[in-house]
């Protein structure tokens, strides 16, 4: 990864805004700009990027060895026991007056502590915007993560059987993900069978998947810090006619969006391609979420492909195409691929088959 190039691109933005520096705390942004390791959900390392003096990472004693081993070409500041990051920041930033900050991440308490050092100016999502366009190294990482995911799913299919619980099915799928090379999961694996499939975020339960129920599997791997994201819906036993209709409708909508995706169209236009098909099939009101979202270091990032999204796709965006239909108390189907937007269309990074599958 060319971290220096990314840091320089951000410094350009700072110059344009008349800023001396930026303080960056969102761990995905810190990773994007330096490669500094993080644990999902924790914001432990602070990146101070100074127009004149470059990048400094302020790290806890605990994280020093790991950061030092993984981050090159950046000044690493190890905190002493009891020392606060803000105090070290104050020393580093003596010559900086106006600093950019992440207005969508920093809470009021931290904002107040930064305000005691700098005049603060919102970065207006600048780093998130940079992250939306993947470079070749990032595309390779995400393809690798999706390759792990495709291979794992193919192997897990041979381990599924009617009558398994959702948790048992999850255990088989995750086992295969790890064995194929997942360093962790891109998010909490979703397995929802029968009426539980209508819970878009349902955690796997002890409910058995049985009697032709549709089972939604939404899952992903993390490889080299990048996420994959994929959904397949598998029938555990022979499905009834209505759920077959739903499956075919969702697959038609998903495939149509695949064919329509390209640079220059807006998120809401791509969403409409899928939504129009589901409306025509009478299922539109049961498609209760957006068509897709960007994927990268975070499982959900820009650009958005929801029904209200004005984001216009550009080459290098990686987004999901994941329509779903959920009939309350009956069942649900979602099918999701991850695609790379290109000039004239898209490249589907997901290789797993999508024809109706019964185990």
Q: Judged by CB, which is closer to a second copy: 61, or 276?
A: 61
List the one residue from 16, 18, 109, 241 that touches a second copy (CB under 8 A).
109
64 binds a second copy (CB under 8 A): yes
Q: Residue 195 in contact with residue 209, Cβ under 8 Å?
A: no
**What beta strand segments (E) does 253-336 contain?**
292-294, 301-305, 318-321, 324-327, 331-334
List the one residue from 8, 161, 167, 276 that touches a second copy (CB under 8 A).
167
Distance CA 173, CA 8 (A): 41
Distance CA 300, CA 295 (A): 6
Residues near 182 by beta carbon (within 8 Å), at least 6 away in sequence: 145, 148, 149, 152, 221, 222, 223
Both tokens of residue 59? 């790290």
List the one residue from 16, 94, 116, 206 that touches a second copy (CB under 8 A).
206
* Segment 321 to 340, residues that bind a second copy, using CB under 8 A: 326, 328
* Of 1-9, 100-108, 253-261, 348-356: span binding a second copy (CB under 8 A): 100-108
344 binds a second copy (CB under 8 A): no
Residues near 242 by beta carbon (within 8 Å), at least 6 away in sequence: 327, 330
Least separation in angstroms between residue 331's CB and a second copy is 12
Number of residues that bind a second copy (CB under 8 A): 58
161 binds a second copy (CB under 8 A): no
Q: Judged by CB, which is closer to a second copy: 10, or 186?
A: 186
Q: Which one, of 302, 309, 320, 312, lies nearest residue 29 by Cα?
A: 302
Site string for a second copy, 213-252 (x = CB under 8 A): ---------x------------------------------
Q: Judged by CB, which is closer to a second copy: 106, or 335?
A: 106
279 binds a second copy (CB under 8 A): no
3-state secondary structure of 138: helix
Q: How far is CA 320 from CA 227, 254, 272, 298, in A?
A: 12, 10, 15, 13
Q: Judged by CB, which is closer to a second copy: 150, or 180?
A: 180
3-state secondary structure of 26: coil
Least separation in angstroms between residue 28's CB and a second copy is 11
Distance of CA 186 to the CA centre of its chain: 7
16 binds a second copy (CB under 8 A): no
Residues near 277 by beta carbon (within 8 Å), at least 6 away in sequence: 249, 252, 253, 256
Distance CA 319, CA 298 (A): 12
List the one residue from 18, 52, 107, 355 that touches a second copy (CB under 8 A).
107
Instruction: Please report where in the chains the tokens 């344009």 appear, as a residue.
Output: 16
Least separation in angstroms between residue 348's CB and a second copy is 25
Distance CA 126, CA 307 (A): 23
Least separation in angstroms between residue 228's CB and a second copy is 15
189 binds a second copy (CB under 8 A): yes
135 binds a second copy (CB under 8 A): no
Site of interaction with a second copy (CB under 8 A): 37-42, 60-66, 69, 81-82, 103-109, 111, 122, 167-168, 170-171, 174-175, 178-179, 181-185, 187-189, 198-206, 222, 288-289, 300, 307-308, 326, 328
């Amino acid at each position: 990864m060319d971290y220096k190039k990314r840091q320089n691109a951000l410094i350009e933005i700072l110059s344009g805004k008349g800023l001396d520096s930026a303080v960056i705390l969102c761990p995905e942004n810190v990773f994007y700009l330096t490669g500094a390791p993080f644990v999902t959900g924790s914001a432990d390392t602070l990146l101070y990027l100074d127009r004149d003096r470059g990048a400094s990472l302020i790290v806890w004693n605990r994280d020093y060895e790991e950061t030092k081993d993984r981050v090159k070409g950046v000044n690493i500041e190890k905190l002493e026991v009891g020392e606060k990051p803000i105090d070290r920041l104050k020393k580093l930033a003596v010559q900086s007056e106006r600093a950019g900050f992440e207005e969508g991440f920093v809470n009021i308490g931290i904002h107040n502590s930064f305000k005691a050092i700098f005049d603060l100016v919102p970065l207006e999502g600048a780093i998130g915007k940079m992250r939306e366009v993947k470079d070749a190294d990032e595309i390779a990482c995400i393809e690798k993560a999706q390759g792990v995911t495709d291979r794992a799913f193919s192997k897990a299919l041979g381990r599924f059987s009617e009558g398994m619980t959702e948790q048992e099915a999850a255990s088989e799928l995750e086992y295969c993900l790890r064995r194929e090379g997942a360093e962790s999961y891109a998010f909490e694996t979703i397995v929802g069978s029968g009426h539980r499939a209508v819970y878009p975020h349902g955690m796997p339960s002890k409910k058995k998947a049985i009697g032709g129920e549709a089972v939604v599997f939404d899952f992903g791997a993390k490889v080299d810090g990048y996420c994959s994201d994929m959904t397949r819906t598998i029938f555990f036993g022979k499905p009834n006619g209505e759920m077959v209709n739903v499956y075919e409708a969702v697959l038609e909508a998903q495939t149509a969006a695949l064919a329509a995706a390209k640079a220059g169209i807006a998120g809401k236009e791509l969403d409409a391609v899928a939504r129009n098909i589901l409306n025509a099939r009478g299922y539109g009101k049961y498609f209760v979420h957006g068509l897709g979202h960007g994927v990268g270091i975070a499982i959900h990032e820009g650009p958005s492909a929801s029904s209200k999204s004005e984001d216009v796709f550009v080459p290098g965006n990686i987004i999901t195409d994941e329509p779903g239909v959920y009939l309350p108390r009956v069942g649900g189907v979602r099918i999701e691929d991850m695609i790379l937007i290109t000039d004239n269309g898209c490249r589907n990074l997901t290789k797993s088959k999508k024809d109706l599958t019964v185990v």
